[in-house]
Structure formats: C-alpha cells, structure tokens
Chains A and B, each alone.
Chain A
C-alpha cells in the first residue's frame, strides 16, 4: 500500500484520504504554538501535524482566542502623540516593509524531499537535516524502506515524530500518516518500519540519541543526528 506517496516519493500533503490522526501533541505544546513561543524545529513538526489534524487546529484556534482576549485586557502603553498621523502618512506613502512571502509548508517539504543533499545508508535508509534553524531542537526528514528496524537507542531530551507516509511502529503503537509521536528524555526504544511501504517522517531531537548496542555504537558516527 502506498497511499500518501506519489511516484517521485513526496508524500501527498496533506493527504486528503488520510484518516484523522490518532496521536496528538500534548496541549501545552499547542498552547506554546498559539502563543508563538515554539522554536523553528518545534514549529515545523507542530505545523505539519496541524495540517492533518482538525481537532488540534481547533485547539490552537481556541488557545489563540484566549491570547486575543488576554491581549485585549493589557493595560495600554502610552504612544507618542503624533503616531496615528505618522502611520496614516506611511499608508499614503505606500511604505512596503513586508518581507517577501514565504512558501507554504507543502512546498517547503516538497523542496526538501527533492533536494539532492541526503545522507544515504546502504540499507536503503536516507535522512536529511532541515537546514537553517535555530533555537531548541533539530529537525530531520527520515525516509526508510519497508521492514527496516532502527538501531536501539536512548533519547537525550525529548523526541517528536510526525509521519508523512507509511507506518512507523514504536513499542505497541503504530503511527500512521499525520500522527504525532513523542518520546520523553531517557526513554529507550527500537522503532521499525511497517511492511506497507516506505515511511517518510519528520523527526525532532534535542540532542543526538545514545545507541545502546555494540552495533549501534559502531554505526553511530554514520547516523549521528
């Protein structure tokens, strides 16, 4: 089954036929998203999940309305006396200080999928660091062949995952398209990819995980996040 994949490997985004996600980010992350306090990597994964998930979009919308209501109750600051006129003058002058618009998320992900610069392993696994980010966490695209078992590892800081295609098995959970997975600091696991097809996912880690087997430690330099 390759639903969610178009021939050149870019997951259809958001896949209109996908079921609603079953696994969601914790509410405090949605609140951070609404308040605008997430890092670039966090924002990327949350925005991707939101593209699939109507119930989380509603939660963000409600949280933003809380923000708007609180904003309205802020004690007003004093403005320079001529500020309204200055603003109207800027409107008349046609001042354009807006940066050029940024591409939509779907185009951003497609560009990254199509980019030539991926780290490739002999087992058919490839990964790409999403460039140009700052703040907490680093985001990667993973593209793994069906049936692949990842090396057992332990997390330093939490790890987030959003599935773009295929099935990602982790413990007793099977994450599918749109699902948001979250592992806490110190948790150990060995995820594997379902037989259904290649699995493309976004991963965010705070620090490189520690591999917990000899083979893993030998491979670590090649799969360092």
Chain B
C-alpha cells in the first residue's frame, strides 16, 4: 500500500489521547489546525450559515477537548471520531432529533467492545485503506456517498434531488458499501 503523502507524527489519534490524558494544549492546537476548518466545511455544507458555523465549530472543538478522555483509538480513527461529534452537534442544533428523548450514542446500546473483524488493523490504518478504497469507487457511487455524508441528505432525499429512481440510489449505495467492505475484509 502506498504511504500517504502527509502523515503527522505523532498521529492525530495520539494527539487526542494526549489531550485526554494530560490536557495537552499543543496537541489540541495541532488537532484544531487540521480538523476545525473541516468541521466548519461540513457544517456549512449541511446548512449552517457561516457565522453560525464558526460558533458551532467552536462548540464541536470544545467537545473534542472534553470527550478526549473517553476516546478509544481501537474503536474509531481521529477523523471518524470528530466527524461523529460534529454530526451529533449538528443534529442537536437543528432539527430531526431535537425531540428525541434518548441518547442514540448511549453505551448500553453497544454491550460489548467491538472491532471490525480484521482485529490486527488499527483504526488509523483502516482509515487509510478506506480512503484508498473510496477513490476506486465509480463516480456514480462515490457522488451519492458524498451527498449522504457531506450534505447530510438521506437516500430518499438524494433520489428526489438528483432525479434518479429510488431503487437506483439504493442499489448504487449498496454496491458502494459492499465494495468498501470487501476492501476492509469484512463479509457481513
């Protein structure tokens, strides 16, 4: 596998651990420099106005600081972990789940610690494989995944907006996920 062009040392995962273990400010600054502009980009694409997005980005990064103690590098790589925090913040702030009165991230939902089947692979390494796999997807599949994750659109909204039959959107997304899973060595 080709090495990525930019590989920080220490890794982003190690930086989060450093923030959690000893409130390391320079580690936080390094995380901030890479991730805060991406958090903002995500929030803007999913419908925040720009000044609101600055404020929300700060709230997300505050949560990164506070939750760092509970971060487990075996469970999620840095980008996935921060993406999940940003996604939850957006949902809380805006709409659909505002009145949801339970915590969908509650640990009781996930009784046992889990890893993807290829246990030897660290989450960070897995992310590199996944990044590579995504670039091999046909554009018609990759673009749908981007609409789902970059723009926060459900598959039925995507179908309506891009003018494809719902069945076509479903089958393209299923093909994309199946292909990515094969890459990760996970046969569901």
Q: Do A and B associate with each other? A: yes
Cα A134 to Cα B65 in complex, Å, equals 31
> Are the CB atoms of A70 and B150 closer together than 8 Å?
yes
Interfacial residues of chain B within 90-126, with CB under 8 A of chain A in the complex: 90-92, 95-104, 106-111, 114, 116-117, 123, 126
Cα A80 to Cα B51 in complex, Å, equals 10
Number of A-B contacts (CB under 8 A): 222
Cα A54 to Cα B54 in complex, Å, equals 37
> Are the CB atoms of B58 and A90 closer together than 8 Å?
yes
Contacts of B59 in A (CB 8 A): 97
> Are the CB atoms of A31 and B83 closer together than 8 Å?
no
Contacts of A29 in B (CB 8 A): 155
Contact of B109 among A27, A47, A66 (CB under 8 A): A47
Contacts of A132 in B (CB 8 A): 99, 101
Contacts of B170 in A (CB 8 A): 26, 28
Cα A124 to Cα B170 in complex, Å, equals 40
Known A68-B76, A71-B38; judge A101-B146 contact (CB<8 A): no
> Are the CB atoms of B149 and A70 closer together than 8 Å?
yes
> Are the CB atoms of A28 and B155 closer together than 8 Å?
yes
> Are the CB atoms of A75 and B76 closer together than 8 Å?
no
- By secondary structure, the A interface counts as helix
Cα A161 to Cα B183 in complex, Å, equals 32
Q: How far is the CB of A48 from chain B (nearest CB, A)?
A: 9
> Are the CB atoms of A67 and B155 closer together than 8 Å?
no
Question: B10-26 vs A: 1/0 string, CB under 8 Å?
Answer: 00000000000000010
Contact of B106 among A75, A97, A104 (CB under 8 A): A104
Cα A57 to Cα B186 in complex, Å, equals 13
> Are the CB atoms of A62 and B180 closer together than 8 Å?
yes
CB of A218 within 8 A of chain B? no
Question: A64-103 vs B: 1/0 string, CB under 8 Å?
Answer: 1111111111111111100110111011000101110111
> Are the CB atoms of A35 and B152 closer together than 8 Å?
yes
Closest B residue by C-beta to A130 = B101
Among A38-46, A113-121, A144-152, the one that faces the other chain is: A38-46
Contacts of B117 in A (CB 8 A): 58
Closest B residue by C-beta to A24 = B188
CB of A135 within 8 A of chain B? yes
- Determine which residue in A43, A68, A103 has the highest number of CB atoms from chain B within 10 A of its CB, and name it: A68
Contact of A68 among B40, B83, B116 (CB under 8 A): B83
> Are the CB atoms of B41 and A57 closer together than 8 Å?
no
Q: How far is the CB of B82 from chain A (nearest CB, A)?
A: 8
Binding site for A on B (CB under 8 A): 25, 28-29, 32-33, 36-38, 40-42, 44-45, 53-54, 57-59, 61-63, 65-66, 76-77, 79-84, 86-88, 90-92, 95-104, 106-111, 114, 116-117, 123, 126-127, 130-131, 134, 145-146, 148-150, 152-155, 157, 169-170, 173-174, 177, 180-181, 184, 186, 188
5 nearest interchain CB pairs?
Answer: A68-B80, A76-B37, A108-B102, A72-B79, A104-B106
